Structure 1
Amino acid sequence: MRTGAAADHTGYFHEAIRYDSDEHLLAVVVPFLLGGVAAGEPTMVAFGERNAALVRAALPTGCPVTFLTGGDVYARPAGAIRSYRRLLTDHVAAGAGQIRIVGELSRESLGATWDWWARYESAINHAYDEFPLWSMCAYDTRTTPPAVLADVARTHPRTAGPHGRHEANPQYTDPEQFLLENRPAPADPIQQAPPVADLRDASPAEARAAVRAADDGSLPAAEVEHLVLAVSEAVTNAQVHGHPPLRMRVWRGAGRMVVTVADRGPGPRHPYAGLLPVAGGGATGGTSAGLGLWIAHQVCSHVSLHRDPDGFTIRLTAGPPHTG
């Protein structure tokens, strides 16, 4: 049985909290959590350390709210979707009629890597819609860039406010449209230098060899091999589903590597490619394209997808992503 503002809703009830003070945040979050506890619903918080401490202090002693480790949950968008779907499935199997979660992304996620987190916020409207989930995503308007706040309105059907306010966002955009828009990622400073490798129409084997040859030992071996796998998948997808010519470039910096794979095709036609293990992720369909992008999103520290009149480019990062 659904309760609260989501009582008459089927599927995912997705709201943003755009707050401008600690008091504003708590005025929305505390009643939301206490309402879940009173209804006997699984009720969870996935905040960073500071805001989690604020909420803990505001709740009654012994209040049975579960605090998740936000940094672990939100390490990568595709991993977050996978983890939450597993969590939601377990709660539904245990008989939950509604599940309440309030969460936030790290401040670093709102910078240079926001492009893939914006895709996450849009995609979960579909990815979680089979579950009786009511969640709120918190954004501090004092520190969140205006462009990010504009995307928040486009990816959340509603905004929650103090005093039980729940307002529709007129800017909300259907994920099937939002996810296929061109969302250029900010340039990575590492790309200002000449690439250490620049290959034309490379085979997957040549692409793998180029990444391994560029390794200077400053990255853990496992991360290098993850990048090798992601690059191999990207090159294979470009060959099978894209349009020639194919160009692959590799940049290396202290403790990180960036690889771009570009072709003249339109890129994945499936809006959820990369975030969900969908079939038909390539320009002309095909299960391998969808799985290849999904694998890349699982193992890289940042993946950006860019379309322009010249074609499609995927950028893959190993090591700490650019956050400036």
Structure 2
Amino acid sequence: MIIVIRTGWATVSASFTHRVLPYDGVDEFLGGALPFLRDGVDAGDRVVAVTGVGREELLRDALGPAAAGVEFADAATWYAHPTRTLADCLGDADNTAWQGRRLRVLGDPVWASRPPLEVIEWQRVEAIVNVAFQGTGASLLCPYAASLPAGVVAAARRTHPESLRGVRAVANPGYMDPWAYSALCDGEPLPPPPGDADALKIDRPDLYWLRAYVSDYARQTRLPEEGVQRLLVAVTEVVTNALRHGEPPIVLRLWTDASGGPALVCEVTDEGRWPSGAAYGLVPPRPAVDGTGGETGAEGGGRFGLWAVRLLCSIVQIRAGDGGTTVRLRLALPAVPAESVNGV
């Protein structure tokens, strides 16, 4: 069934599609990408191609004059942060739909050199897209090269409802419910904090001293001041949530971690258990629209907390169960300059 959104300016189909384009070589890549882009240009869609420089030149040459109707974006910049990318793209989809057009994105994900934790979060985003973009009318096509690690390709079939074979879309039999896939991403227990981690037991809501404690530790690391401020906002939100909804003891721990890229890690644990089915701030809050197209406020009663935390941190890991709740925040640290490593 095709749902229709009636906007202030026009009418746009709300049938959202999210497909993977598996390819082995340039011909298979172009065989799926070119019809997708050309169809969008012909339909008057807003068409965006997110890829590297080499692929951009290839697409421009193959598209010919139609390339003028395509916006090209650098993949490394577009895929810089999973939560921010999801928010920005969803905002573009909503804005484009309001103008009576469809957003059509060819998104070539960046997988090379990503640490395992980042890979997991980007794969989770691929799943959550299927929930977040419902009703936008957007069309997303994600190329995956056969040369990628087998686990990355297999995950693509679990997080995309359909595969594109040439110009034909076929259902992925291994496609998973997005929330089930997200739970799978959290299936492994978190490694324990190191023995030398700083620990602070929180038994009263004194956020002033909490922020002083965290900022003092953070400023002893290479975290830039802008990152310190982001951490303080995120920690305040997480600790406030634990004080309101968790169970004592509430403990905050801080340490630096070199695995998966250097990072400052801040962990808050309590003995409470979050309700099953909680989205954990994974879906961007969106304006609710009334029958006349006017905004009535944010969906979910304005609960931006954990979503904001995910925007502020490099990676947020959450584990909740019978043993309590753990929220682990990671903020990437700048690499050590080569002259420091060499002692020069």
Q: TM-score, normalised by structure 1?
A: 0.81
Shift of 1:237: 1.4
Shift of 1:157: 0.7
Q: Does 1:175 find its partner at 2:182?
A: no
Q: Does 1:313 find its partner at 2:326?
A: yes
Greater C-alpha radius of gyration? 2
Q: Does 1:236 find its partner at 2:240?
A: yes
**CA distance in structure 1 between the partners assigned to 2:176 and 2:16 by the alignment:** 15
**CA distance in structure 2 between the partners assigned to 1:272 and 1:62 by the alignment:** 42
Shift of 1:243: 2.9
Identity of counterpart residues, as a percentage?
A: 29
Query: Match of 1:282?
Result: none
Shift of 1:93: 2.8
- SS of the equivalent of 1:132 reads coil
Q: What does residue range 1-324 of structure 1 map to in structure 2 within 5 Å? A: 10-61=14-65, 63=67, 64-96=69-101, 98-107=102-111, 108-109=113-114, 111-146=116-151, 148-162=152-166, 164-181=167-184, 183-184=186-187, 192=194, 194-195=196-197, 197-201=198-202, 203=205, 204-214=207-217, 215-216=219-220, 218-252=222-256, 256-267=263-274, 269-271=277-279, 273-277=281-285, 290-307=303-320, 309-320=322-333
Q: 1:188/1:29 Cα in 2 relative to 1: closer, same or farther (>3 Å)? A: farther
- SS of the equivalent of 1:129 reads coil
- SS of the equivalent of 2:109 reads coil
Equivalent position amino acid for 2:265 in 1? V
**CA distance in structure 2 between the partners assigned to 1:44 and 1:103 by the alignment:** 8
- SS of the equivalent of 1:112 reads helix
- SS of the equivalent of 1:293 reads helix
Query: Match of 1:281?
Result: none
Structure with greater strand percent: 2
CA RMSD between the two structures: 3.1
Between the two proteins, the alignment pairs up a number of residues equal to 303
Contact 1:262–1:314, Cα closer than 8 Å, also in 2: yes
Q: TM-score, normalised by structure 2?
A: 0.77
Contact 2:223–2:333, Cα closer than 8 Å, also in 1: no
Deviations 1:32-88 (A, max 9, x none): 111222222221111233333332233214622111233333222222222122222
Shift of 1:182: 5.6
- SS of the equivalent of 2:117 reads coil
Contact 1:257–1:319, Cα closer than 8 Å, also in 2: yes
**CA distance in structure 2 between the partners assigned to 1:246 and 1:321 by the alignment:** 30
Equivalent position amino acid for 2:181 in 1? F
**CA distance in structure 1 between the partners assigned to 2:150 and 2:200 by the alignment:** 37
**CA distance in structure 2 between the partners assigned to 1:54 and 1:267 by the alignment:** 49
Q: 1:115/1:309 Cα in 2 relative to 1: closer, same or farther (>3 Å)? A: farther
**CA distance in structure 2 between the partners assigned to 1:71 and 1:267 by the alignment:** 35
| Residue ranges of structure 1 left out of the alignment (5+ in a row) | 3-8, 279-285
Contact 1:43–1:65, Cα closer than 8 Å, also in 2: yes
Deviations 1:252-293 (A, max 9, x none): 368741111122333364326244238xxxxxxx968x4221
